[in-house]
Amino acid sequence: MSIALVSQVIITSDIEGTIAKLEESKTTERFVKIIKEDTFLVEDAKLAIEKAYMASEETTVILLAAKTFSPVVQNKLLKVIEEPPPRKEFIILTQSKATILDTIRSRLPITMLSQALQEEELGLDVAGLSLATVYEFIQTHKRTDTKTMKLLVERISKEAIHSQGYDLDEKTLTLFSNAFIALDLGSPPAFVLNTLLLKLLARKKR
Mean pLDDT is lowest, of 37-41, 46-50, 68-72, 154-158, for 154-158
Q: Is 178 helix (H, G, I), strand (E, B) or coil?
A: helix
Distance from the first to the final alpha carbon of the chain: 49
pLDDT number for residue 206: 79
Q: Is 128 helix (H, G, I), strand (E, B) or coil?
A: coil
The CATH number that domain 8-118 falls under is 3.40.50.300
pLDDT number for residue 115: 52
Domain ranges of the chain: 8-118, 131-202
Compute the average pLDDT of residues 192-202.
94
Residue 121's pLDDT band (cuts 50, 70, 90): low
Query: DSSP character for 53?
Result: T
pLDDT number for residue 169: 80
Amino acid sitting at position 23: E
Cα torsion at 165, 167, 173, 178 (round to 10°)? -90
Compute the average pLDDT of residues 17-22.
92
pLDDT number for residue 10: 94
Provide the angle, in degrees to the nearest 10, between the axes of the packed helices 170-184 and 189-202: 180
Q: With pLDDT > 70 as the criterion, what percentage of the chain qualifies? A: 95
Which of 122, 121, 125 is CA-nearest to residue 201?
125
pTM above 0.85, yes or no: no
Residues 6+ apart with CB under 8 A from 122: 152, 155, 156, 159
Identify the helix (H) or strand (E) that includes residue 94: strand 88-94
